[in-house]
Structure formats: structure tokens, C-alpha cells
Chains A and B, each alone.
Chain A
Amino acid sequence: MNAPNSNLGATRWIGKRVPRKEDPRLLTGRGQFVDDVTLPGMLHVAFARSPIARGRIVSIDTQVARELPGVHAVLTMADLAARPIKLLSFFFTEAEVPITPLADGHVSYAGEPVVLVAAETRAQAEDAASLVEIEYEELDPVVTIAQAKVAAPIHPGVDSNVAAEIGDEEVEDELEDKLAGSALRLSHRIVHQRISQSPMETRGVLASRDGPEELTLRITCQSPHLVARWVSLALGLPDTAIRVIAKDVGGSFGLKNHPWKEESAVIVAALLMGKPLKWIEDRYEALTASNQAREAEMTLQAGFDAQGRLTGSHGIYDCNNGAFPQGADSNIAVHMFVWAAYRVPAYAFVSRGWYTNTNGLAAYRGPWAMESLVRETMLDRAARQLGIDPIEIRRRNLVYLKDQPMVTSMGIPLDDITPGECLEKLLDHFDMAAFRREQAAARAEGRYLGVGIASYVEPTGSAGSMAPMTGELAQVRIEPTGKVTATLSTHSQGHGTATTMAQCIADRLGVRYEDVTVFEGDSTRGGFSPGAAGSRQGVIAGGAAIRCSEMLADKVRTLAAHLLNASVESVVIDEGTVRVEGAPEMARPLAEIAAIAYGEPDRLPPGFESGLEMQFRYQPPPMTFTSATHLAVVEVDAETGFVKILRWISSEDCGTVINPAVVEGQISGGLAQAIGMVLLEEMPYDARGNPQAATFKDYMLPSISDVPTFEFVHANTPSKSIGGMRGVGEGGAIIGPPTLVNAIADALTPFGELGDVVLPLTPARILDVIEQRDVSGFYAPEPVKVEAAVAEPVAAAPEPVAEAPAVPSAGPEGDWNMVLKTPMGPQAMVAHFDIEGTALSGYLSAPEGRQDFAGGTVEGNRLRFDLKVEKPMKITLKYDLEIGGDSITGKCKMGMFGSAKVTGERA
């Protein structure tokens, strides 16, 4: 698959640190971000937002606002309801709780948009929004995960605050025996703070209804194609009617995957008003009202034998989903990957996402990163307790190439991961023995140095198992002028895909990098892909660009061979010149061949399609792993608790490197975000559910003085995908946090064990360890908030009166409408049961298809049956259901993923 292409000349572009194609316009102020576009007749939008986290809307008075000069419309949800829209998850699934663009009857988080104002200037819109009078009946909010566990549901119509769950509460006997019999059984806990993704360009949209059937959106996003598909599904419009343009995007990091409440409100209002509407979020809104990420807690238990070898492990994960998550999430990936790079005999878990009256959960670079943080910090803690070197404990448990192929305890096949090799390579660049001597000498002087290492693997380039995670498309053409243009399904929010894709094309087509131009950023160009999501573009689109270019090169060679009366095998394209090996006098500029291909059909070989155009959609292997081991050296000031990072080495294996500057740029950006997560960033909420960081003075992003110079060691084991690339988009943000925490914990060992990790590690929290007392105030017992536990649910409509004691109107036979809460969102299906004696058979039917089963059993009201499925992986689903009258409840055990909840009622 990766054999060198025989048409290639000597010039290589893959692997070169070439300057980026994107830079000239961005360096001269000619980038085109959404706020840079102005349309004739355009109005500006501002929102009146809820000042409380939870309550009922008693009244909305818009009259004064409407009378302000320049104001065209002041709209509430009652107005927007004229054009229904369904807010979908990233997986295009509908939410369990209703999510409306503007608050509908009640508010569920502080900052929730309630009223939309459209005016001729932004200032007028903001002035008018401030004049909208909204009266609320305030209710006690549910803010934390701990409160959500005991409080009545925040949303009407659901039975608990569990937004999503997977796994099993009880540790099975076999695993419990392994843990109990271990030389060391360790339980380690991480409390991860809430993060604001904080791209430098805030959210924004410019929506324009162009005629009755055309909608043009300029929106800051991660993929115009994904937004077009999402909006089409959300509005029930054909996606051919929607054009999405996003030329330059000022960062996203998971936040801008798809529109959410405000963007949807603007889109609907633009459809209703027929005027172009622009909304650009300001930073206050971005920090306090945009979706957020990461607030989660995880307790990982593991057993170790006396040599430090893992015997088994169990994880408990809870994640704050906020009120309206962009996909309710219990984060199954945390468990899939927590031990993916390690040999662990058994792992089990339970995982839950919780609804609270806070901003909704959205993605942030490496959304499952908790797994590496909890595992790697636990390994160092275990090593200290066992008296083993942190390097050694990894060597004894990590998967090396010699151990593969193998299957992880979570069923993931591994055949080419290299975290162990990355560790060894890293140690070639760092003299650990010398550092330990330096550390000892420094301690004698009262200076506290520490070193931390962390290893991981990361799933990248995922394709084929989830609706939006498709392959990628490359369309490449040699213009009649001989210059090359390409349209790709990619999108850059700083990723530089126009650069890396041009390198792939130039390399495989045999033309100069300068002669290739890549177009993206418009849903009418290229084909569907989710864009930058899951570290995928370099891997999959790179493969598409390479293969497409090779196919096009073959077409050029076929034509040139015909025109020059040479054999196809002897034709080579190099630096835009078509040569015949052994006959230098026959060299022709590519432009000359191209002009013939388009303009002189009589000279083409029989059956040869005129023009020089090609397209290829690459469907890669389902997953491509990237491996890495990082090392950081820090100094902790024992007086102030201040951490200074002295050195950081990244040893990663991202396969073929298309452009080292782009790869290192991705890793560096992720590492800076990691430093922010460990030391600085935090979006706290007060007890009334108010987000507390409203400016960049409160929400502290890393500055240049917080981030050291990173050193890079590249391993470059080609992957099995075309071109051999592995993704690097998210890795720095995943492996960075444990690397830094481990270095700090190492520095603190003269004072004591860092222990459970509560992020961010502020100077006060570090002084907790140094001074062995509660300097930070975190460990003071918190008063139990009783009011949260007894808070009444906000009822939109009176609860239906419970029916008289359930007398089964019929048996289990027949059709049932069931919902299975899967990790990708609730999945609705129709179950049909047939019964003969105690034998159960039937089928489950969903829009994706119908599956029959037989061999089930009936015992009283209990139904049990198994179903074998192929997607997203081969697995046997074990249903265990109980019928109570006309309702059905129970569990579906999904192999190593644990159990998911089933509910339903008679159809």
C-alpha cells in the first residue's frame, strides 16, 4: 500500500518544513473570519440572557426594547416556534430532554438565551437587549455532580439527573479477587476542573435566507460539511439548500463542532425575518454562556503484584454534562483507552454523565483525556509505594512492539503501537541518572526539582463506526495551465490543511509545492467529512490526497506515453516536467500535456477521458493509533508553591510526518493547553450556579511566560493507512497533564505524597502538600446542601396522574417502543416479542434495520435474550427486561462496555 510510486521524480515534499499556504493572508490582515463579512441589509443580533441558573419565566416584556431606534425585531421562543428546529448531538441524535434555541418557559443555566434582538448596529441590539424585562420565579439550582446525585431531576419528564450511563456498579467477583489478592491495591482519584475552550475567535454566525429555498451560513466551525448536514437534519431542509462558508476560523478545540442554542436561534430568526442576521459572541458571553468542558471526577483502582505488574483495575467516572450537553455523555472512551497501552488482565467500570444547572458540555481537545491523567499519575504513586522507579513500572506493564499483535482487556486489537519504544527513545535524550544527582544536590540547597514521565496511546483517524466519522475526499485537477488545484473535505481552524494537503499532492503528483492550491472552507467544495474532529485530517485526508494524486499521475503518464510514443513505465513527472527515462530531449512541461488533455481531443488515446481530473474518497482502517511518552522537569518554590517548568521533551510516534512544523505546532498547542489545565485555567461556579470567570483576568490562559520551549523526538513508525500518517491533533492535551502532574509530585516527595489530584494545582494546593495542612481550603468539610436535595423539579406541564395499580392488560407479546441509552445517545427502537411457553423470540427494529433473535427466556415478568451485533464492533448484547403493566424497564449488557439502561412502553 505504501510502496513508492514509480512515477515519482527525486523531489519530495512530504516531510518538509515548508512555509504555510495560509500565512500570507493571515499575516497581512486579509484573513476572512465570520465577523469580517458584511452583507447588504444585514442586522446585528444580541441576546437577553438569564441572570439565574434555574427558574420559571413568569413574564417577558419587550415593548421598550422594540421602540428603540434601529431595532427591527425582539423575538422570544414563542416567536421562533413558527420554524421548528431540533438541536442534535455531534452524532446527529436527538436529545432526551427538549432543547430549544431560546428558553421556553423556564431557564436551566445562568446565561441561557431568552430573547433575541435584531437591530441595525450591534450597539443598538445590545442597548435593546438590556431593556427587555423578564420576570423569573427562581428555584434552587443543582450545580455540582455531588448535588446532581441526590437532587430531584432538573429537567421535567426524566427520572433522574443521569444524562448518560454505562458500565456496572458492582465489581464482579473475579476482578474483586484479583484486586484483593494483589500486593498493592491502590485507589486514586482525580477531580478535574471545568474548562472553557476559549478559542481566540469567539462563536459567531451570519445567516442569510437567499430566496425561499436557499440558506447561506457563514459560521465559525470545525467543518462546513458537518454544519450543513447538521442544519439540514435540524431544520428538515434538503442539504442542497444550505451553503456553509467558513474560510478562516480562529481556533475551536471542540467547541464549534456544530451550532448550538444561539446559532440555531439566529438561523431560525433569519429564516423567519428574511434578512441577513449576524451574531458575534463577545468574550463575556463566550466565557459565561458558551458550552464548556472537562468537569469530571474519576476514581481508578488497580492491583499490582510485588514486582509492580498490574493484576486488574476498576474505574468510576462521573462527568458534569450541564443542562444541555452537545450530546449527553458518560464518556465511554475514557474506559476504552484507559489501559489501551498496558497489559492489564481485567478492567471494569461504571460511568455516568449528570445533568446540572450549568452550561452544557461540549468537546475539548482529547475529550477522554481523563484516562491518561488518572492512569499515569496513579502509576507514579504506585511506583513510589512499591519502591520501584517510575520508568521501571512502565517498562513492566507497557505494550511494546514485541508484545503485539494482542487484544486489550477492553477488546481493542493492537498491532503497531509504540509507547514503550517512545519511552526508550526519550531516555536516549535525557540522562536520568544525572538528573537524580542534580535533584539531590538541589534539595540539599532547598530547591525542589522534579521529573515526570507519562506514556499513552491515542485513537486517531477514526472512521466507519459512527455517523459523522466518515472517510475523506480529495479532488485533484491539473488545470489546462499546468497548475494544480484541489478541493478537499478538510477544514482548518489553524491546522494548516491547505499546506499539508498541498505537500501530499505535490509529492505524489511530481509538481512543485508552489504550484498546488488547495480549496476548502465551503460546503459546496469537496465532500462530506467532520473536519477537524478526532485527530483525523492528516491521516485520512492525507491518504486521500496521496492516492488521488497517484491516480492522476498515472493518467498523465498514460497520455504522455501516447503523445511521446514511449512506454508508460518510462514516463516520470518531476517538478512539473514530464520526462521519459533515457530520453532527456523528450521532456515536456506539464502545462503542454495538460493543454492537449483539455483542448485537443483528437490527440488523446482511444477511450481516454479528456481533461486531467481525479477524485478519491479514502476509507481508512477503523482506527490508527498514535503513541507517545513525554518528560517534564519542574522546579517547585517551597515558599510560594509556584511551579516553573524547566524542560519538556515530547517523544511521539505519529508515523509519516507531512510537515514537522505543523506536527510540532499541533503538539505544542496541546501542551500549552495541558499546562493551562494543570496550573491555571478554571471555570468555577458559585452556589447559585453563576460562572465565576467572566474575563481573561479571571480565566487564566497560559501566556508565553508559562510555556517552556518544547523539544521533540519523532519516532515515525508508518501506520497502515495510505501514506503512513498517524494523528497528532489532540495528543498534547492528553499526555501533557499527567506529565506535568507527575513532575510536580516528584518534586514534592520530600514533603509528602501529592495523593489525589484536584485541578488546577494552584500554588495554594501545592502548599497543602508542602506545609501538610489545608492551605487551599479545599479539604475543609463542605456543608451538605440540603436545599438541592429537596428542590422541586421544574414541571413544564402537570404530571399525568398515575394510573391505577398496573393490571397487565396483556402479556409481553406484541410491540414495545423501547429506548436504549447507548454511549452515543439514546437509541429508539421497536421491540417485538413472541412467546411459546417459556421460550422468547422476536426482533428489534430501528431506522438502521431490523434484527431477529430467538432462544430467549420468559420467567414471570422477566424477559431475557441475546442479540449479536456487528457495529460499532462485534459484540453480544444481553437484554434483561422486566415488564410492569404497559411499561418495560431493564438493562442491556454490552459486553465489556457494561450495562446500559432500557426503558419503554407498550406500542
Chain B
Amino acid sequence: MSEHAIALTLNGQRRDAVVEARTSLADYLRLDAGCTGVHLGCEHGVCGACTVMVDGRAVRSCLMLAVQADGSTVTTVEGLAAPDGTFHPVQQAMREAHGLQCGFCTPGVLMTFAALTGGEAKASEDSLVSAMSGHICRCTGYQGIRRAAKALAEGTVGAGGAE
């Protein structure tokens, strides 16, 4: 197997690594970088559990090779909360909305929400809900995820909007 040196910024910290060409970004993040919050639900790009942010965009880390992330800025669920532990609004919204049960699909849901609510443009409830069609949750029937999307779109997180 050929090995390649890569460098990336992961959750605000620069990391250098040597990876096999066939190593997926997800496997690199879980096995080498210790980001076990990146969950592998299908490894074929359908379930969305492994979603991370690469240069601000939501990406399925099971479908991207680690070498492709060379030079990128990558954020995983571990990098969402503020250094003092304060939840990111998407985490707060999901908590208030009871948006999770087993929590396995949750990191991917959070990263897609974060990618869509992080920019300048304000995401609509419809666009957030449609984006969620790329995430499979087997536990909740999506009820809390819908409430979280609504609260994020309406800016009512923390004011009981997601409850």
C-alpha cells in the first residue's frame, strides 16, 4: 500500500499524518485522530452518521479519502462546542427537542445542521428538514429532529423553541 503525508487543521489544531491511500477520512478520524464521535453507520454514503465539515461544508467522511483532506480544515462533532463546554446552538437545539435516543446517528445530524446554519445565509426550516432526508435515524421517527430544525430556523433555541 502506498503511504502519503497529509496535513490538515482538525477541530482548530494542525495535524500531520501519514496515511495509506485507501484510508477513508472517517477511518483516519476515528483510528488515527481519536475522533470516535465520527460514527460509521453504513460506509456507503446513505446513512449520514459519519458526516463532518470539510472547509465548512457537510461531507460524508466514509466517501472521502483521508488524502483528499490534505490541506483542509475539518470539524467533527468533538469540535462543535465552545472550549468552555458551552453547546453549539445545534447541540442545544437537539437537546431541547429530545432529538436523539441512541445517539448513534446524532453526530452526523449535528454536522449537517451546523454546516447549513453556520454561514451568512439564514437557513429555512424547509431547507433544514430536506437536508435531513440524507440522515437515517432508526430510533426517533425524526420528531425531535424536525423540532430542532424549526427552532434553528426560527432562532428560538434556548428560548424553549425546540421543546
Contacts and interface: CB of A to CB of B under 8 A. Distances in A.
Interface of A: 17, 19-20, 22-24, 26-31, 33, 35-36, 123, 198-201, 248-251, 253, 282-283, 492-496, 661-662, 664-665, 668-673, 695-697, 701-705, 707, 709-710, 732
B61 to A, nearest CB: 13
B103 to A, nearest CB: 3
Nearest to A249: B102
A250 B39 CA distance: 10
Given A200-B49, A669-B139, A28 B81 contact: yes
A309 B141 CA distance: 36
Interface string B100-142: 1111111100100000000000000000011011111111111
Contact of B102 (A19, A28, A493, A671): A493
A695 B41 CA distance: 11
A26 B146 CA distance: 18
Contacts of A30: 37, 78
Contact of B96 (A19, A123, A669, A710): A19
Nearest to A672: B141
Contacts of A201: 39, 41, 102, 104
B100 A23 contact: yes
Chain A binding surface SS class: loop
B104 A19 contact: no
B39 A28 contact: no
Chain B binding surface SS class: loop
Interface stretch (B65-73, B87-95, B151-159): B87-95
A668 B143 contact: yes
Contact of B98 (A29, A495, A661, A670): A661
Contact of A250 (B46, B76, B102, B110): B102
Contact of B47 (A671, A696, A702): A696
A665 B101 contact: yes
Nearest to B110: A27
B95 A23 contact: yes
Given A672-B141, A707-B142, A696 B96 contact: no
Ranked nearest first, the 3 interchain pairs of A and B with the lowest CB-CB distance are A29-B37, A250-B104, A26-B103
Contacts of A27: 77, 87, 91, 94-95, 100, 103, 106, 110
Output the residue of B38, B76, B103, B132 with the most chain A CB within 10 A: B103
Given A201-B39, A248-B102, A665-B139, 18 more contacts: A23-B94, A26-B106, A27-B77, A29-B35, A29-B36, A29-B37, A29-B107, A123-B22, A200-B105, A200-B136, A283-B41, A494-B101, A665-B143, A668-B141, A668-B143, A669-B138, A696-B47, A705-B133
A31 B103 contact: yes
B161 to A, nearest CB: 14
A200 B102 contact: yes
Contact of A283 (B44, B80, B104): B44
B42 interface: yes
Given A27-B106, A28-B81, A251-B102, A669 B140 contact: yes
A200 B36 CA distance: 15
A30 B35 CA distance: 9
Interface in B1-55: 20, 22, 30, 35-44, 46-47, 49
B133 A704 contact: yes
B74 interface: no
B44 A695 contact: yes
Output the residue of B76, B80, B136 with the most chain A CB within 10 A: B136
A307 to B, nearest CB: 38
Contacts of B20: 123
Contacts of B22: 123
6 contacts: A28-B91, A29-B77, A35-B36, A201-B104, A703-B142, A704-B145
A673 B137 CA distance: 10
Contacts of A24: 95
A25 to B, nearest CB: 8
Contacts of B47: 200, 283, 696
B8 to A, nearest CB: 18
Contacts of A702: 141
B43 A283 contact: yes
Given A27-B94, A283-B42, A709-B146, A200 B100 contact: no
Contacts of B81: 28
A17 B163 CA distance: 9
A29 B76 contact: yes
Contacts of A250: 39, 102-104
A495 B96 contact: no
B144 A665 contact: yes
A28 B37 contact: yes
A710 B98 contact: no
